[in-house]
């Protein structure tokens, strides 16, 4: 990046992706204002306006979301306020103030019935409240501002509550775990995702992007690789989704393709790095 540093305001800075963006953006020469939910509720129109006017960002990255997929089913109003009206508020204010908006979305906007990975131009068809509200947020961004990027991702893990930590914790309590083998994703390390988002910003080409670590697997395969790398003796039994009914439906194929977006390293390589750091921290606590 050349010239004066661009100021970026990150919402949802307390989440896994938001934390990585707050760390990585300055490494690329950006000036960062990182606001967690306690500092900025994106569903509060007045608060969004005040924050954007106070900090005068050139770019806003919206990493704020209500991501409890099952919780969204019982709290649809809250999910809509955060996942749809939040992006609406940001889009309207960004358009008015002349700044760019990069909105982070999800593979859950698709129904998962495709036999191939989903491309950015494929038609969304969400099958859960979470997916529907995230799609509504995308639509607000598309229609209410002219300087937008939408980045869809999947299976994110990093510094916070996530599948990897859940598996490690469960394995310490029992030696046999049942994990779904009929839902597929591309597990994505939040640190790598942050780097991909920065590359999108550097490119200055508006539009829809899919960014995940490369490769794909079932949740069952993901769990087995976690324990292999961690050196833990755990039996991982494959089970169908029907064996574990949950309030929200999940897309059986949640894999995204990115023909023109930033290419990230293979998910196994990213997971190995994450686990080295994660297990290293545990040994020193």
Tokens of 260: 């023109």
In this structure, is the dihedral angle defined by the CA atoms of residues 189, 192, 194 and 197, taken in order, positive or negative?
negative
The reply to whether 157 belongs to the active site is no
Beta bridge partners of 63: none
Q: Which residue has the tokens 């030696």?
A: 175
Distances in Å between the alpha carbon of 211 and those of 6, 120, 191, 271? 22, 10, 12, 16
Give the Cα separation of 173 and 120 in Å (integer). 41
Tokens of 134: 């995230």
Query: Closest Cα partner for 212 from 230, 229, 228, 195?
Result: 195
Give the Cα separation of 5 and 37 in Å (integer). 25
Residue in 130, 149, 157, 209 annotated catalytic: 130
Catalytic residues: 130
């Amino acid at each position: 990046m050349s010239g004066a540093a661009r100021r970026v305001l990150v919402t949802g800075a307390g989440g896994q992706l938001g934390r990585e963006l707050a760390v990585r953006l300055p490494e690329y020469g950006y000036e960062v204002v990182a606001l967690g939910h306690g500092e900025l509720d994106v569903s509060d129109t007045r608060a969004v306006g005040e924050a954007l006017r106070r900090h005068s960002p050139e770019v806003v990255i919206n990493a704020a979301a209500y991501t409890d997929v099952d919780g969204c089913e019982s709290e649809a109003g809250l999910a809509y306020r955060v996942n749809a009206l939040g992006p609406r508020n940001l889009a309207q204010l960004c358009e008015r103030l002349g700044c760019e908006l990069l909105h982070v979305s999800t593979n859950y906007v698709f129904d998962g019935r495709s036999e191939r990975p989903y491309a950015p131009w494929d038609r969304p068809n969400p099958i859960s409240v979470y997916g529907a509200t995230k799609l509504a947020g995308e639509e607000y961004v598309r229609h209410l501002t002219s300087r937008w990027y939408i980045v869809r991702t999947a299976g994110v893990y990093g510094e916070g509550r996530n599948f990897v930590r859940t598996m490690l914790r469960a394995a310490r309590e029992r030696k046999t775990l049942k994990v779904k083998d009929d839902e597929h994703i591309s597990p994505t390390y939040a640190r790598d995702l942050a780097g991909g988002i920065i590359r999108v910003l550097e490119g200055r080409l508006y539009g829809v992007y899919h960014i995940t670590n490369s490769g794909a697997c079932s949740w069952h395969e993901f769990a087995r690789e976690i324990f292999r790398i961690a050196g833990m003796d755990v039996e991982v039994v494959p089970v169908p989704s029907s064996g574990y009914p949950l309030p929200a439906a999940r897309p059986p194929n949640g894999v995204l393709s990115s023909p023109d977006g930033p290419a990230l390293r293979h998910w196994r390589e990213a997971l190995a790095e994450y686990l080295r750091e994660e297990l290293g921290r545990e040994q020193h606590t």
